[in-house]
Structure 1
Amino acid sequence: MTAKDVRIPDDIAAVLVDPKAYADNRIEDAYRWLRANNPLGVAEPIGFDPFWVVTRHADILEVSRQNAIFHNGDRATTLVDKIGDANVRAITGGSPHLVRSLVQMDEPDHRKYRALTTTWFSPRNVRALEDATRDMARAAIDRMAATGGACDFVGAVALGYPLRVIMRILGVPEEDEARMLSLTQDIFGTHDPEKRAEIAALPPAIQGQLIAAVIADFTAYFGTISADRRANPRDDVASIIAHATIDAKPISEKEATGYYLIIATAGHDTTSSSLAGGIAALASDRNLFERMKTSLDLIPGFVEEAIRWTTPVKTFMRTATEDTELSGRKIARGDWLMLCYASGNRDEAVFDRPFEFRPDRPATRNVAFGYGAHLCLGQHLARLELRIFLEELLPRLSSISLDGPIDMIASCFVNGPRHLPIRFELN
């Protein structure tokens, strides 16, 4: 696995595992070099197990469609160093996963658990949420207007609007949303880099206690919601999870927690980042803004481009279950692979002028939602939220511009604007 022809230079490998590189755009330079010179190579950064780096669009699709060969559950599904992996295994009694959700499942469990909510998240059912979502979008824009023409769009709108949508689906009352946001960020990495550094500096045993306490709190909260839905079913996802059975047996508390958690996090963080990324593009380019104002029919294309442009989930990890070959390179059983979705969505072989934001871009399969069996369950809901928000915002928006530098989240996993200062006029 460390042959010279596949090994990635140390400086490039270091960028791949540096959270700050995803905030200051150095990762784009690294991806560009890899696509041109070593699109499927092995990184051996200090402190990490070696892993293959998959940067081309075609190779990402190929790995994603072969779920029997490239597993999610055998090792960590997100990039973690050796110490972090050991800490998680110590907390869980040997598992590389703090929680067990759809993301950490392989067949046959993945298919069975995904089927529980597939119909609920289908395009037809999601369309039934349009009126309620539009009301929430209008309320978010009213809050934006109340800031007086200048705000941090992330804090004022992008965090709260998708959170309200997904918490309504889960049956969480509005007064508990801030608590849920805090819990999910504490489990998967806070947006506050200083706090994240403070936690990382603690002894592993203390880190373990903190994480275990957060998961216990999350489990208890949704355990109460599940108990209520078993007694008083509603038309929401919480009721489905509360009554879920697999092979004629109720799902365990651990699996129920994992289901709630993946919906709460994946349904919020990715949509929030894509929304902020799209607004950042509007605020940065007056020509783009004026074009969107006069061509509202471009909104669906703008939504797709905002998702591609931002690609909130930057990477996911897979593990080879057998010796295999990919693009002429031999991958051994047990090898770890990093799927670089953000690189795939800038692949020059697939996207014309990939570094330009183009709402009229011809339809091309971007990989922001993944591909294959693990294609994002909530993709239709995310598109609905973004489309409705833009349909409500653009007719009211007279002007928009940046009001300072965009501060990006420093993370190798989920990344997008952390602060987006804008000035605007609404009518």
Structure 2
Amino acid sequence: MSDEWEFDHLDPWLAPRIHEVFAEIRDGCPVVHSTRYGGFWAALTHEAVKEVTGDPRTYSSTGGPTIPSVHGVLMPPIEFDPPEHTAYRKLIQRQFTRQGAARYEPLLRRLVRDRLTELIEKGDADLIPALARYLPPIAIAVILGLPPEDGTRFVEWTTRLLATTATGDHAENKRVEQEFTAYVAGHLDQTGDEENVIGEIGNGRFDGRPLTPQEQLGMVLLLIMAGHETTVHGIGTMIYHLATVDGLRDRLIADPALIPSMIDESLRVEAPVVTVARTVRGGADLAGRPLEDAERVLLVLGAANHDPAVFERPEEFVCPRDRNPHVAFGSGIHRCIGEHLARLEMRIVAEELLALAPDYHIADGYRPDWTSGPVVRGLTTLPVTFP
């Protein structure tokens, strides 16, 4: 296959056939060039993705995490390289450790149990809006230190910020940014400790000085965006796999210790984050392709997770899978800081769903409708019935 491929990861046509197209490109050429969006290289193998994420000096994050770039509020630490990245991340990482996230398990479990009880009594539900989109905004609000009931408000703000940035509606974008900034600033002004992320940011110092309002806003905005949509899709596709993979629910009910392995395999098969981007600094050689300074590289995580050189029977859902080095959470210094919170939410949903409604099934005639976008992938609906 030629190095040239008119690769368009934003084409809605790609969504239902993404893995077939990725396999065709990856198997013919691990790194291909596209002229779309100003030109970029797409890395589709597991090896190439790991090479790029393992070398932040050559492959910089300062050009933005998406192709095409979305120019809005600068969001530390994801849009910075070391040492700035390291300093920003250190401010908040304590709250996102496994132990830090575990503090919120009783609350999140109660919320999921109560919501499922309501849905089961009703008899049917679309589990994307009713459950997958219900939990993550509350979870990220709680760990940030914001009122749980405000979760839907700031998710709406971030959605509007992204939409107006993409459409170029600068006046509306500025208005939304001012609303959100005022909201965040109000809570930052009230913080007096460091027992939540807002406290960490409000009291944090960078290079010996307090964070600026724009730095604070950017960090909060990033955490809300990264902690919401990606986890929504992770939960939604997991519920779908539980219902459609033969014998999976029975195996998990018989051996709940397999649930973490199931979560990893669900994330591998349908990675919520499909692509991330880097910018070449000073030139590079990637899989034998010479890359010039300032060229853009798209890391196709969804393709790397199906690489047959790493994963045996990559198109099958295998649980337990003996070796599963998937890159659904990324890799290297920018590996998702909210990984443990996302895993916790997915585990709680799986455990409570299997305990309260093990016989739920997807509505007759349902056909998966996958989102298509520059970064995330997931189901738009998932109608189910409860016997």
Q: Same fold (TM over 0.5)?
A: yes
Aligned residue for 1:102, secondary structure, equals coil
Aligned residue for 1:282, secondary structure, equals helix
What residue number does 1:172 align with? 146
What residue number does 1:193 align with? none
- Give, in angstroms, the shift of residue 22 of structure 1: 4.7
Q: Quick one: which of 78, 87, 93 aligns to 1:118? A: 93
What residue number does 1:28 align with? 19
What residue number does 1:41 align with? 32
Aligned residue for 2:386, secondary structure, equals strand
Q: Distance in 2 between matches of 1:416 and 1:171?
A: 27
8 Å Cα contact 2:140-2:151 kept in structure 1:
no
Runs of 4+ in 1 over 4 A off after TM superposition: none
- Give, in angstroms, the shift of residue 133 of structure 1: 2.7
What residue number does 2:3 align with? 6
8 Å Cα contact 2:76-2:215 kept in structure 1:
yes
8 Å Cα contact 2:61-2:79 kept in structure 1:
yes
Q: Quick one: which of 329, 332, 335 aligns to 1:369? A: 329
Q: Distance in 1 between matches of 2:324 and 2:245?
A: 23
Residue 350 of structure 1 pairs with residue 310 of structure 2: yes
Q: Distance in 1 between matches of 2:144 and 2:373?
A: 26
Residue 99 of structure 1 pairs with residue 90 of structure 2: no
> What TM-score comes out, normalization by structure 1 length?
0.85
- Give, in angstroms, the shift of residue 234 of structure 1: 5.9
What residue number does 2:60 align with? 71
Q: Distance in 2 between matches of 1:285 and 1:59?
A: 30
Structure 2 unaligned spans of 5+: none
Residue 237 of structure 1 pairs with residue 212 of structure 2: no
Residue 215 of structure 1 pairs with residue 177 of structure 2: yes
Q: Which amino acid aligns with 1:118?
A: Q
| Pair 1:331–1:234, CA change in 2 (3 A) | closer
> What TM-score comes out, normalization by structure 2 length?
0.94
Aligned residue for 2:20, secondary structure, equals helix
Q: Which amino acid aligns with 2:80?
A: M
8 Å Cα contact 1:76-1:97 kept in structure 2:
no
175-184 vs 33-42, greater mean Cα deviation: 175-184
Aligned residue for 2:290, secondary structure, equals strand
- Give, in angstroms, the shift of residue 318 of structure 1: 0.5
Q: CA RMSD in A?
A: 2.0
CA deviation string 1:228-282 (max 9, x = no partner): 11xx436211111111111221001111011111111111211111110011112
Identity %: 28
Structure 1 unaligned spans of 5+: 89-95, 190-195
Q: Which amino acid aligns with 1:150?
A: D
8 Å Cα contact 1:22-1:411 kept in structure 2:
no
Q: Which amino acid aligns with 1:390?
A: A
Q: Distance in 2 between matches of 1:41 and 1:328?
A: 11
Q: Distance in 2 between matches of 1:76 and 1:102?
A: 11
What residue number does 2:136 align with? 162
What residue number does 1:54 align with? 43
Q: Which amino acid aligns with 2:45?
A: R
8 Å Cα contact 2:139-2:148 kept in structure 1:
no
Q: Which amino acid aligns with 1:41?
A: V
8 Å Cα contact 1:22-1:409 kept in structure 2:
no
8 Å Cα contact 2:249-2:358 kept in structure 1:
no
8 Å Cα contact 2:120-2:357 kept in structure 1:
no
